[in-house]
Amino acid sequence: MIDRPLVEKSAASGQRKMTLLERDPSRYLMRSVLAGMYLSIVVFVFWSLSHNLHESPFGKVIASAFFGVGLSIIVFTNAELFTSNNMYLAVSTAEGHTTWTQSTVLWTVCYAGNLVGALIVAGLLYAAGTLAELPLDHALYSGAAHKVHQGALAIFVKGILANWIVCLAVRLALTMKEDIAKIAIMICVVFIFLYLSFEHSIANMGLFSMSLLGNGSITIRDALYNLVFSTAGNIVGGALFVGIPFRYINPVEQRPGA
pLDDT tens column, 211-258: 999 999 999 999 999 999 999 999 999 999 999 999 998 887 644 343
SS (H, E, C) 77-106: CCCCCHHHHHHHHHHHHHCCCCCHHHHHHH
Whether residue 200 lies inside any domain: the answer is: yes
Whether residue 118 lies inside any domain: the answer is: yes
Whether residue 254 lies inside any domain: the answer is: no
Cβ atoms within 10 Å of 254's Cβ, excluding its own:
7
- Between the alpha carbon of residue 221 and those of residues 148, 224, 225, the distances in Å are 9, 5, 6
Q: At 149, which CATH number? A: 1.20.1080.10
Tell me how far apart the alpha carbons of residues 183 and 108 are, in angstroms, rounded to a whole number. 27
- Is 243 in contact with 88 (CB distance < 8 Å)? yes
* pLDDT tier for residue 1 given thresholds of 50, 70 and 90: very low
Contacts of residue 9, defined as CB under 8 A and 6 or more positions apart, other chains included, come to 174
Question: Average pLDDT over the chain, rounded to whole?
Answer: 95
Residue 128 pLDDT exceeds 90: yes
- Between the alpha carbon of residue 250 and those of residues 60, 86, 87, 98, 221, the distances in Å are 37, 18, 15, 18, 42
Whether residue 70 lies inside any domain: the answer is: yes
Whether residue 257 lies inside any domain: the answer is: no
Whether residue 196 lies inside any domain: the answer is: yes
Whether residue 253 lies inside any domain: the answer is: no
- Total of domains in the chain: 1
The residue range of the domain holding 120 is: 4-248
* Model pLDDT for residues 28-87, shown as the tens digit of each residue: 999 999 999 999 999 999 999 999 999 999 999 999 999 999 999 999 999 999 999 999
* pLDDT tier for residue 2 given thresholds of 50, 70 and 90: low
pTM of the entire predicted model: 0.94
Note the pLDDT of residue 251: 83
Whether residue 256 lies inside any domain: the answer is: no
